[in-house]
Structure 1
Amino acid sequence: MATNIGMMDGAYFVGRNEILAWINARLHLNLSRVEEAASGAVQCQMMDMAHPGVVPMHKVNFDAKTEYDMIQNYKILQEVFNKLKITKHIEVNKLVKGRPLDNLEFLQWLKRYCDSINGGTMKENYNPTERRNKGGKERNSKGSQKNFKSLQTNNSLNSVSSDGMGSNKISVTKQGKVGGVATVANSSVEIQELTGELTDLKLSVDLLEKERDFYFAKLRDIEILSQTPELENFPMSMAIKKILYAGEEKESALAEAQEIVAQIIKVEKTEYSDDDEC
């Protein structure tokens, strides 16, 4: 079970679009950015899908907007992790900030985990919309939205009925705004597309930098090990440092390193043969 996976695991190379498509398909949502899952509600429901009955869905706030409300969701998620003995650390302070990379990494881990449960298949009778409606705060927010919309409708009808020319005014206003609305709509679509592309580029750069730092740290560990007094003059250490300190103008120092090792092996074989003759 994928409770803990390394940062260079293939799970962390799953793209933003694939993660969003996975969430939207499983939970019948329409997320367009990974930051929209920063409230922790999506993660709670994914765990509810993987382990029905473990998550107290009536406590999950699907309308969480403030950091306080988001943190409450993550507390619920942490309690679920504790029940299931999942040791994955939840970096709540980072996730609630809504930063794309932090949220993407956690969702990548979550996908890997859910895929490891029953082969990633959803429970046959699991209804994500119905289960989501069990979120106590969501029902209240939906009710208030409906009341607000109905109030707007009533006010509009009243304003029209109070003026005999109301219908004419509305039609003239609509005709005058058609061109402007169309232009604004096209601009909004272009802005969303460019924003999505920019987010993808930022995520790619962040992942590349993380991969670079990962391998640099390993090379640095090897360098420190090869510089220890006990190993510094060993042939293998000398060969390793030959590769590490090779200049940029050289394509590869592997051949020289292999030659160093080969010479030492040759010397050792000669000394071993002389000992046998003695």
Structure 2
Amino acid sequence: MATSIGIMDGAYFVGRNEILAWINARLHLSLSRVEEAASGAVQCQMMDMAHPGVVPMHKVNFDAKTEYDMIQNYKVLQDVFNKLKITKHIEVNKLVKGRPLDNLECLQWLKRYCDSINGGLMNENYDPVERRSKGGKERNSKASQKNSKSLQTNNSLSSPASSNGVIGNKISGMFWTSSFRTFLQLCSVFMTFFSFSVSGTKQGKQGGAADASLELQRLKNEVTDLKLSVDSLEKERDFYFAKLRDIELLCQTPELDNFPMVVAVKKILYSADQNDTALAEAQQIVSHSINNHQQIDFE
């Protein structure tokens, strides 16, 4: 069950474009950034789709803009988790800040959970727009008319900050790669516009057009180099992910579960801290085990 997936699970390597496409298709929205789901309303409605009738939609504020209103949505979500006996911890203080990586991780988990319900099949009788409107009318008739737009403007109230050391550098690396792809897309748009401008240059400015053509070629070469770098980074990421995944599977072997070294390795693998406490604790476990063996040998 997705309620207890490990941090090295493939669910946390689903790209944000795939996550956004999944949310938009299921809920009939048009989110363009994961930060736009920071209010918690999207998470509540996805759970409402997966478990009809469990989420009190009249309590979900789709027009939440302040952190206080967002926290109320997450309280609703936490109550739903408690009803369903889901042990997933919601890091509300991080999510309401609108930081991309924190919200991406939350949505990655949510997708994995929803995919585990009924094989990920969508409830054909579920009308997301009607459910949002119904909940909004019970809260405020005016809010119901602009709930969809508010989902897309929540992020304007919180500045996206860079997140260092969010549960494993794997997500950070993926976000860095996605940033490269965004840059490449912008370069592509720029070159298309630039090429159009050059083609419309008058014959009397052939010298300037030639210089522009050289600059365009230089930009194309840079984009090609960046694409190669992105491909190389993705291959390197996948390589190390496979290694870590093998280590995790080995550590989950029942016969090895209580070995001190295995306990120490899992301590590091599953640590969500942004400091070296996990490494220090792992070293203490190993040192304690070695000292015990030395005492036994001495006796």
Q: TM-score range by the shorter chain?
A: 0.5 to 0.7
Contact 1:43–1:77, Cα closer than 8 Å, also in 2 = yes
Indicate yes or no: 2:7 matched with 1:7: yes
Q: CA deviation at 1:141?
A: 2.6
Structure 1: where are the runs of 5+ without partners?
146-192, 233-278
Runs of 4+ in 1 over 2 A off after TM superposition: 135-139, 141-145, 193-197, 214-227, 229-232
Counterpart residue number, 1:79: 79
Q: Which residue of 2 aligns with 1:225?
A: 286
Structure 1 residue 128, shift from structure 2 partner: 0.8
Q: How many residues align?
A: 177
How does 1:250-265 map onto structure 2 within 5 Å?
Answer: none
Q: Deviations over 1:90-146 (max 9, x none)?
A: 11111100001110111111101100100011112111111111222474135589x
- Check the 8 A contact 1:60/1:135 in 2, yes or no: yes
Letter aligned with residue 290 of structure 2: T
- Judge conservation of contact 1:49–1:126 (CA < 8 Å) in 2: yes
Q: How does 1:84-233 map to 2 (within 5 A)?
A: 84-136=84-136, 137=139, 139-143=141-145, 194=183, 217=268, 221=282, 225=286, 228-230=290-292
How far the C-alpha of 1:225 sits from its partner, in A, is 2.3
RMSD (Å) for aligned C-alpha atoms:
3.5
On the 8 A contact 2:23/2:29 being kept in 1, the answer is yes
Q: Given that residues 43 and 77 in structure 2 are in contact (C-alpha distance below 8 angstroms), is that contact kept between their aligned partners in structure 1?
A: yes
Give the conservation status (yes or no) of the 8 Å contact 2:34–2:100: yes
Aligned 8 A contact 1:62 1:138 in 2? no
Structure 2 residue runs without a partner (length 5+): 148-181, 187-229, 248-264, 270-277, 295-299
- 2:70 maps to what in 1? 70
After superposition, the C-alpha distances for 1:201-241 in whole angstroms (9 at most, x for unaligned) are: 9xx99xx7xx7xx8883695479627823558xxxxxxxxx
Identical positions, percent: 73
> Relative to 1, partners in 2 of residues 1:138 and 1:111: Cα closer, same or farther, differing over 3 Å?
farther
Whole-angstrom distance in 2 between the partners of 1:143 and 1:56: 19
Q: Distance in 2 between matches of 1:122 and 1:138?
A: 29
TM-score (norm 1): 0.55
Q: In the TM superposition, what whole-angstrom CA distance separates every residue of 1:4-35 from its partner, at most 9, and x where no partner exists?
A: 11111111111111111110111111000000
Counterparts in 2 of 1:8 and 1:119: CA distance versus 1, 3 Å = same
- Contact 2:40–2:73 (CA under 8 A) maintained in structure 1: yes
Q: 2:63–2:146: 8 Å Cα contact kept in structure 1?
A: no
- Contact 1:23–1:29 at 8 Å: present in 2 too? yes
Between the aligned partners of 2:77 and 2:285, the Cα distance in structure 1 is: 41
Letter in 1 for 2:291: P
Matched, 1:32 2:32: yes
User: In structure 1, how many angstroms separate the alpha carbons of the residues matched to 2:59 and 2:92?
Assistant: 18
For 1:142 and 1:47, the matched residues in 2 are separated by 20
TM-score calculated relative to the size of structure 2: 0.52
Greater C-alpha Rg: 1
CA gap of 1:33–1:196, structure 2 versus 1, over 3 A, is: farther
